[in-house]
Structure 1
Amino acid sequence: MKILVTGSNGFMGKNLIAELKNQTGHEIYEFDRETSKVRLANYCKDAEFVFHLAGVNRPENTEEFMEGNFGFTSELLDLLKQANNTCPIMLSSSIQAELDNPYGESKRAGEELLKSYQKDTGSKVYIYRFANLYGKWSRPNYNTVVATFCYKIARGEEVSINDSSASIDFCYIDDVVNELLKCLNGSPSLKDGFGFVPEIDSLTIGELKDLIVSFKESRQTLSLPKLDCRIEKNLYSTYLSFLPENQFSYPLKMNVDNRGSFTEFLRTPDRGQVSVNISKPGITKGNHWHHTKNEKFLVVSGTGVIRFRKIDSDEVIEYFISGEKLEVVDIPVGYTHNIENLGESDMVTLMWVNEPFDPENPDTYYVEV
């Protein structure tokens, strides 16, 4: 399809266009503040669908609300009428259209204009009143509180909160894009005459701040967010998109001795802990067993052997492992075990354990294999 996207350089426009480009076959007409009105008129002649996302959020004076959100919409519809183009139009409005403030009034005026256009032309019109959108490519101090918090907290700046108990509905940009693609294909989600995004999550401002602070602190705690919680998963992805470009990496604490090193990488409250173990040639590590704690070992470089012995038996079981053939070895409870480097270079082993290490309850008992 030939698709016109106004506001193409904005937060929603960038994300929508990126996904439209992932789908082959579309010809996308991008319009933003820098695009000439002559080109817009040509776009309006050929467009088979219009995503009208352009608007004004934070102008220098309140008069610009009506000019940007009503005036430009009127201009766009006039160009479509002149071209006798009755293609479907999707309008990006806001939940603030229900409020009596300059921004809400300008959004509501744009909606009414589109409804009148539908009556006059018979064009299909879809009006979406979006909640607080968030995600990658949003602008701090402009689009959303999420962008502002992510940007400032990632840089160690203070964020100010007037009412930490105030609850806000949030809508993730990927869910918005998925809904807009449904609209493009003629199957929008509709309620009370408006399009809507079904996936909405609520948080208080205090909860939002605490979550984003925990993302920053996770580099020290090595903890991961709860990825089975939709908003926490999406907020973490958003936070990472705001990292300063010279701070993508962070060091880990390596516990080093003459045997090699042991470095914790990630930990979770419910999915265990991941570490990297490096053993020098000829070195044996382990010789202990657990009641409940269980592990998985994966040698990714070097060669060695993992030995097991049930603590009430004399039989020793051996598993030879190598980075040349990736193979996971389960470490069952009740077996004392060790791992020995049989090669001439360092042996690197990824180790997963079902619970983060707790020095108050280590569940680790020394017994030679």
Structure 2
Amino acid sequence: MKILITGANGFIGQNLITSLHNLPAGWNSGFDVEEKLYLMEYDMESSPKLLEEYTKECDFVFHLAGVNRPKNSDEFMEGNAGLTESLLNHLKNNHNKAPVLITSSIQAELDNAYGISKKVAEEMVLQYGKENGVQTFVYRLPNVFGKWCRPNYNSVVATFAFQIARDIPITIHDSAHKMQLVYIDDVITEFLLALTGKEHRAQSFCYIPTTYETTVGEIAHFLHSFRQSRNNIQIPCMEENSLEKKLYSTYLSYLPENMFSYALNAHIDARGSFTELFRSADRGQVSVNITKPGIIKGNHWHHTKTEKFVVISGHGVIRLRKIQDSNVIEYFVDGEKPEVIDIPPGYTHQIVNNGSSDLITVIWCSECYDPNHPDTYFLEI
């Protein structure tokens, strides 16, 4: 299968090509990707002769190339409608009825130079399909965001993420301005469905099923919160298909390469250390506890708060006792054989390092620590 991709060096093109190169074998009813998938990459800088050659043999066309930031408005029609016309003429002259997928824009509904040029390109593709019995896919995309999108170009998300990651002030003219967003991975997933004949379609147009309605102010709020999360160690909402999750992934892709790491606040004393790693609004917190040899930590219980202990290095014993009983429960733990020890409410508990090296324990707690409401009560085992 030979796939022609115009706009190969662009934001969507790069993501599509990467995904096509990494498709698992059998992704399409036994389709052998490594042996049968061949990509023909074409971009605005490519020789026009190359487009003519590619259209002789391609089996499917992803027409992603276009112009959205020209030096003058005349280039809109040339770069969007003109290139589309050239592509379709080559296919027709070569008697190639390969399906054609084109990325248009929701601005095709607006009366501006860019929108008009995209609408003309849409109509060309739809008319070409009708006249030549060719399957066509026309996607009017909203604002696409995700990794590899150019900041200060055509995406407010990319621009804001780039600036906020570098502590550069952003400019917002209207925080209540409404925006429709679509995530790049959702776009690519849909394009792969189109490639296999399983596209989402409403009459003549195709669409991405997952989109987001938001405002410029909300986008800025999320991105600022991601920067602040390095100080408050809050993990953003990671619910499936949440806008926050996808914006967070995008934000991280714009971090300067010398800023991937950041320090944590370790509480260190003669007994060892305790360091909070992550907090979440509804999933509690994760910490790492280091206990020096011969040291006992804990000897407290909780009313509602629960914990999970996992020793990942060293040897020790975890003891629990129901606060009304005298019976002590012991779990001997070993970092070479990790296991989870649940700490129920109403059980006082301690961890003892009976080895010769540091005992390192990862602790999940059902609540983020609040010094005003600690729900922690001292009681010896």
How far apart are the structure 2 equivalents of 1:35 and 1:101? 28
Q: Which residue pairs with 1:108 in the alignment?
A: 119
Give the drift of 1:38. 2.1
- 1:238 matches 2:240: no
Give the drift of 1:19. 1.1
Q: TM-score, normalised by structure 2?
A: 0.95
User: Of 181, 186, 195, which residue of structure 2 is paired with 1:184?
Assistant: 195
Secondary structure of the equivalent of 2:115? helix
- 1:247 matches 2:259: yes
Q: Which residue pairs with 1:367 in the alignment?
A: 379
* Deviation string, structure 1 residues 37-74 (Cα, Å, up to 9, x no partner): 22221111000000000001111111111110011111
- 1:32 matches 2:43: yes
How far apart are the structure 2 equivalents of 1:185 and 1:308? 57
Secondary structure of the equivalent of 1:233? helix
- 1:19 matches 2:30: no
> What's the Cα RMSD here?
1.0
* Deviation string, structure 1 residues 324-349 (Cα, Å, up to 9, x no partner): 10011011111111101111111110
Q: Which residue pairs with 2:280 in the alignment?
A: 268
Identical pairs, percent = 54
How far apart are the structure 1 equivalents of 2:246 and 2:127? 37
Secondary structure of the equivalent of 1:246? helix
How far apart are the structure 2 equivalents of 1:143 and 1:177? 19
Q: Which residue pairs with 2:29 in the alignment?
A: none
Give the drift of 1:120. 2.9
Q: Which residue pairs with 2:96 in the alignment?
A: 85
How far apart are the structure 2 equivalents of 1:37 and 1:68? 13
Q: TM-score, normalised by structure 1?
A: 0.98
How far apart are the structure 2 equivalents of 1:83 and 1:311? 83
Question: Which ranges of structure 1 fall in alignment gaps of 5 or more residues?
Answer: none
Q: Which residue pairs with 1:217 in the alignment?
A: 228
Give the drift of 1:323. 0.3
How far apart are the structure 1 equivalents of 2:153 and 2:147? 14
**What residue identity is the alignment partner of 1:10?**
G
Q: Which residue pairs with 1:3 in the alignment?
A: 3
Q: Which residue pairs with 2:295 in the alignment?
A: 283
* Deviation string, structure 1 residues 268-321 (Cα, Å, up to 9, x no partner): 111010000001111110011111111000000000001111212222211100
Give the drift of 1:351. 0.4
**What residue identity is the alignment partner of 2:320?**
F
Q: Where in structure 2 are the equivalents of 1:7-156 lying within 5 Å?
A: 7-23=7-23, 24=33, 25-156=36-167
Give the drift of 1:115. 2.3
More off after superposition, 6-15 vs 305-314: 305-314
**What residue identity is the alignment partner of 1:33?**
M
Secondary structure of the equivalent of 1:270? coil
How far apart are the structure 1 equivalents of 2:135 and 2:13? 21
- 1:349 matches 2:349: no
How far apart are the structure 1 equivalents of 2:154 and 2:176? 21
How far apart are the structure 2 equivalents of 1:327 and 1:351? 12
How far apart are the structure 2 equivalents of 1:151 and 1:189? 32
More off after superposition, 338-347 vs 115-124: 115-124
How far apart are the structure 1 equivalents of 2:71 and 2:273? 58
The list of structure 1 runs, each at least 4 consecutive aligned residues, that deviate by more than 4 angstroms after superposition, is none
Give the drift of 1:188. 1.5
* Deviation string, structure 1 residues 204-258 (Cα, Å, up to 9, x no partner): 1111100110011001010011111611111111111111111111110110000
How far apart are the structure 2 equivalents of 1:358 and 1:313? 28
Give the drift of 1:80. 1.1
How far apart are the structure 1 equivalents of 2:103 and 2:154? 14
Q: Which residue pairs with 1:206 in the alignment?
A: 217
Count matched residues. 369
